[in-house]
Structure 1
Amino acid sequence: MFVALCTLAACDDQKQAQTPVPDPAVAETSDNSAQNADSTHVLQILARDGKIHPFTVELALTPQQQAKGLMFRETMAENAGMLFYFGGEAIRSFWMKNTLIPLDMIFIGKDGTIVNVHANAVPNDLTAIKSEGPAAAVLELNGGTAGRLGIQAGDKVRHVFFGNAR
């Protein structure tokens, strides 16, 4: 019974880490279309080699959108993804529960600098995947994308949320 209770508590901790409450400032600084996960935004990753990689991303801003994320999707377009924006920086933790496709998770600081990249997260794996430092956002892309494009820690993500959009 004790093991079952500890396991249940650990699952609750993982779920809470996966679905933090977004910073209220997001609602004040973004337009109404950004509040809808069905809307898409273009963001760019500026690699250190000078290449610019554009992606069309859905936004996950509310606790409900963040809890669902990319669950139950069987495919995702090559240059598509989902941006989870939290506002404030903290150690972020995600898992792959009910996620059917492998994903690269790119943890991003509040200034748009990539903190770390977790490549090829395994579908349906309940292991916590954590940022290696404080992150204000997480970008999920198709598994293998970061490696294919040479995206790595220290690269910059350009989007209005990071105050560096052009």
Structure 2
Amino acid sequence: MAHRNWLTAGVMCAVIAVIVAAGVFFYSDRPTSADSRAMILPVDPAPLVVVTKGGDRSFSIEIADTDPEREAGLMYRQDMPDDHGMLFVFEMPQQVNFWMHNTPMPLDLVFVGQDGKIRAIKHGEPQSDAVVSPGVPVRFVLELKAGTAARNGIEYGDLLRHPAVGTVSGPGMPPADNGDAPNGGGG
């Protein structure tokens, strides 16, 4: 009888050791939206430039171009420099909805079309679950600290320039006119 209890205890310890080892093996340091830690992505080497009536405005950016990165965004981020932002890149133009759940910083949300032009600028309130949407399909969203767009003269129709924001045709967009169309192309 004592031998069977010892054997059972040994098997239980082995099972616990396997569970712990599996947990360590599959553990990832990269935070997700379920974590209470901010996700920090690498800063892209190319600056994002917004062409405004008052001149070019340059920002260092992190690029969120995967579902987990877009889901986490700037959640839990306490602060960031005034010349910094996060660019959300979607595979194709679409209606997007953002919220500020677990985001302690107030933000400007700059919604950008496939052509790189700003379609809307909205404001996000910290920790709010209210939906922030441009009301039109967009391909990119640039998040900046609240007030940055106004301070820099960034407005509807301004153009964003960055390698991730191309003006080439993509899914759901008509092909670019290369001038080879009958009757001179263009409209």
Q: Same fold (TM over 0.5)?
A: yes
Q: Which residue of structure 2 aligns with residue 140 of structure 1?
A: 143
Aligned residues: percent identity? 36
Pick aligned residue for 2:47 from 26, 38, 42: 42
Q: Which residue identity lines up with residue 148 of structure 2 in the other structure?
A: T
Task: Identify which of structures 1 and 2 has the higher relative contact order when contacts are C-alpha pairs closer than 8 Å and 6+ apart.
Answer: 1
Q: CA deviation at 1:50?
A: 4.4
Q: Which residue of structure 1 aligns with residue 105 of structure 2?
A: 101
How many angstroms apart in 1 are the aligned matches of 2:61 and 2:79?
14
Report 1:71-90 matches (<5 A).
Answer: 71-90=75-94
Residues 43-94 of structure 1, C-alpha deviations (whole Å, 9 max, x = no match): 00001x1410000000101111111100111111110000000031011110
Secondary structure of 1:147's counterpart equals helix
Contact kept in structure 2, 1:44 and 1:53, CA below 8 Å = yes
Please tell me whether Structure 1 or Structure 2 has the larger radius of gyration of its CA atoms: 2
Contact kept in structure 1, 2:98 and 2:132, CA below 8 Å = yes
How many angstroms apart in 1 are the aligned matches of 2:165 and 2:85?
17
Q: Which residue identity lines up with residue 42 of structure 1 in the other structure?
A: P
- Which structure has more strand as a fraction of its residues? 1
How many angstroms apart in 2 are the aligned matches of 1:103 and 1:50?
22
Unaligned runs of 5+ in 2: 1-32, 34-39, 168-187
Asked if 1:70 corresponds to 2:67, the answer is no
Asked if 1:162 corresponds to 2:165, the answer is yes
How many angstroms apart in 2 are the aligned matches of 1:76 and 1:56?
11
TM-score (norm 1): 0.73
Unaligned runs of 5+ in 1: 1-18, 20-35
Q: CA deviation at 1:116?
A: 0.4
Cα root mean square deviation, aligned = 1.7
